Structure 1
Amino acid sequence: MSTYEKNYIADHVNELKPSGIRKFFDLASKMENVISLGVGEPDFVTPWNVIEASYHSLERGYTAYTANAGLWELRKELSVFLEANYQVAYNPEDQLLVTVGASQAIDLACRAILNPGDEVIVIEPSFVSYVPTIRLAGGVPVIVEATEEHAFKVQAEQIEKAITSKTKALLICSPNNPTGAVLSKEEMEQISEVAKAHDLIVFSDEIYADLIYDEAFTSFASIPGMIERTILISGFSKAFAMTGWRLGYAAGPKSIVEAMTKIHQYTIMCASTMAQHGALEALRNGKGSVLEMKTSYRQRRNYVVKALQEMGLSCHLPGGAFYVFPSIKSTGLDSEAFAEALLEDQRVAVVPGNVFGESGEGYIRCSYATSMKQLTEAMKRMRRFMEKLK
């Protein structure tokens, strides 16, 4: 880009780095015989009943805009779903907003809440879009590191130490991307006490809530005293294998959801009508498909963790999502060097841990949202690579 062209780009946009995940995905796409464990996307096709419901909505002529906040029937069904599954009650009239993916919900939450200079505590390693999204909204991300020593679960006292007079919000993701860590109810209760004591808003990214393997899921908003200060963010991409449909939602206090909706109506208008009809079917009749996919993910998780440990890589057992986050510190390579060498030598694509924040250095993220056949071959190749390093 020439200096002349660069002058036209806003400074805060020029400062953003491209996604490190996409960098390795693009590299892998130009190579043959690559097994990608990089992109966080289910290998399953969207359940047929969901696809069929979307088709039928078109056949019935549902091709116009929905309400800005989303299809009324979908918001009502979301209200029922959230109360039945996560014990949180939201009025579909003014406390629920259907968005273009959970990513847009996070963006809207940041833009609705943050004034320039407001600080948001972000737990790292974290999803790559959190920090840029906060910065684009004029906020200041403050990083708190969740360490392997504590199974990548942040401690309440760490959050409290990071709070200043400018702290306005806490962004937390459980189950976590990239580590798969799941906060227990007791851990959430401890964090909630800090949030209440310092009058913080909590952005709770619960996109992987239905992909939890060893315990019951607890929504942050279900903790006593937290529903009025929590923006619950989720969507249909992961559990229902609907990534390309780009459909998410936010639930929260009326005043905050109304503020988010104002921004949404001026920038997006509404989410895809046909996608919303598909999502409605997913909520009503998709539980069986989710359970089938989750059973498969659990099997893959157990296999991959055992294989990584047997080849000499330290790897905790993730409680949710579909990622493992093994340490590669024993190899003497940094995250990018390891990922680049593995891709070049064995044609296995993983994501360097440092793209999820500096605290991710020394780790790699591997997605097990691919077939057992592919995972078995990928682990064979990684084992050969580790033997060469020795």
Structure 2
Amino acid sequence: MEAIEDIGNLRDQVLEYLKALGFEINLDAPQSLTLFTEEKAYLRQLHEKVRRFALKKHQLRIRRSWSKLSPYFARGDQVVPERIRPVLLEVNEPWQEDLFFLARLTWSLPYSKGYGRRLRFLIMDSGNRSPQGLPFLMGILALQSPPLTFPPRDRLFRYPPGRKVELINQTMDIHTLGAVPPYTALLGGKLIALAAASNEVRLAYRRKYAGRRTELEGRTLPPHLVALTTTSAFGRSSLYSRLRYNREWVAISLGYTEGYGTFHLEELYPLFRKFLEAQGISTRGGYGVGPRIKWQTCVRALERLGLPSSLLRHTLRREAFLFPLIHNLREYMEGLAEEPLYRDFPFEDLVEYWRKRWLLPRVSRTDGWRAWEPERLLESLLVEGDELGEP
């Protein structure tokens, strides 16, 4: 990678790859990339190309995990909607980690472990079980440390001088949320979204992080979790829109992001790392280098290839949402209130609300979910004709 010829080849490879994804490129324009269409069907295809590349390195683990964990994935005819009994389970044990990992790989975006403070949950159906007596997996939820700069959120608050980091670090970002089939067709995603705002998630955060000191600054943060943020995968979100519990909004739309990120460069990322490491530039992540190591690596590689950092603007604008977990969020984030006034959203109450508001009306309108076969999940995870790599 040190030779100038290799730099030129990699530069051409970057441009050809982006064109193959469907981007039009004008390096002289402030916005270097544009998509020829922003229809959701095309955007899903674009994400699928990136996802399938990311699956290559997980093929051995997928096969091993599926052989052990497939009974947790229901066939449609095994699920009796009236018997569904959701259970919120924090991921702590190895089998839970493997089940979460396997389910997460079915998402449209490439797998990510998250960064900083992390919480992961499985939502299981204890009322419907496999022939082996195992509860079926309904969906997954994962939280991570929030971005310190997030314009849709930051426009809402006037942080007190010198306290922004402290206050933002009392929130978390939802980086994975959703149901798995056949529960997707039964609007299980609505339940997972409600669960994110539950008392149980807040209490899990308190148990895990009360008294913990931050790695970078050695500061002990208050054990409060006062809000969550997230963004949709494809433009406007139907999952979070009109999401209420009784008469209270659970998710509040904050508008749209500006369309920056690295997901469209996922396949090139290993080449960028190799290129920079050959020049003596570290690309290692972890504490001390910040949570945006992938972004930083892409920016540095593009600069050294003579390409503008504006190639990181993929133009796919995502809808941003805020989940207030306290009644006095604005006052708290602006330093006008010393203590958070928590909302009271017990998981069991959220389940009953979801059952009446979404599940039962859905069942009365359709039975298409009954034909679901879990083997279709495995088929979506296998990438044929590629080298299999260790996870």
Range of TM-score over shorter length: under 0.3
Larger radius of gyration: 2
TM-score normalised to structure 2 length: 0.27
Point out the structure with the larger helix share. Answer: 1
